[in-house]
């Protein structure tokens, strides 16, 4: 299993179009594992599939832009560590034009953009 330790911001930044697959990975002490660009010069629809990932001391697993139709699909996610430290699974933003900052809308599964069931997430 590949790993990233101590990424102060994003581990994967998705600026182009298409689908990114993150599989068999471990992330520790990071801001976000994945973020779809929320203020790039071109506003593509972006997708991420995250499977068999172990997360520790990380603020969020994925951030996507729902107004651009981004999706994030999760399976076999293990969150390790202090149960009082909140790790967001999927954070939804409103993407904006270049030069502005995206606005966080909400987080959590919704069956449209953030795709996972409680059985996809394990806490240790």
| CATH number (domain holding residue 49) | 2.160.20.10
- 29-43: per-residue pLDDT in tens? 999 999 999 999 999
Residue 101 clears pLDDT 70, i.e. is over it: yes
Q: What are the Cα distances from residue 46, in Å, to 15, 81, 92, 119?
A: 8, 30, 13, 25
Q: What is the mean pLDDT of residues 114-123?
A: 96
Q: Which residue range(s) make up the domain with 60? A: 2-123
Q: Token digits for 5? A: 């330790």
Structurally, the chain folds into a number of domains equal to 1
- pLDDT tens digits for range 70-98: 999 999 999 998 767 789 999 999 999 99
pLDDT score, position 34? 98
- Using a pLDDT cut of 70, give the percent of the chain over it: 97
């Amino acid at each position: 299993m590949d790993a990233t330790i101590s990424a102060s911001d994003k581990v994967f930044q998705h600026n182009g179009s298409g689908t990114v697959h993150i599989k068999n990975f471990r992330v520790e002490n990071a801001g976000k594992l994945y973020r779809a660009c929320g203020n790039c010069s071109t506003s593509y629809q972006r997708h991420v599939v995250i499977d068999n990932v172990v997360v520790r001391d990380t603020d969020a697993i994925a951030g996507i832009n729902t107004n651009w139709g981004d999706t994030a699909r999760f399976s076999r996610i293990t969150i390790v560590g202090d149960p009082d430290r909140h790790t967001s699974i999927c954070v939804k933003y409103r993407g904006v034009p270049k030069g502005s900052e995206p606005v966080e809308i909400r987080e959590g599964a919704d069956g449209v953009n953030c795709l996972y069931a409680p059985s996809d997430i394990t806490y240790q």
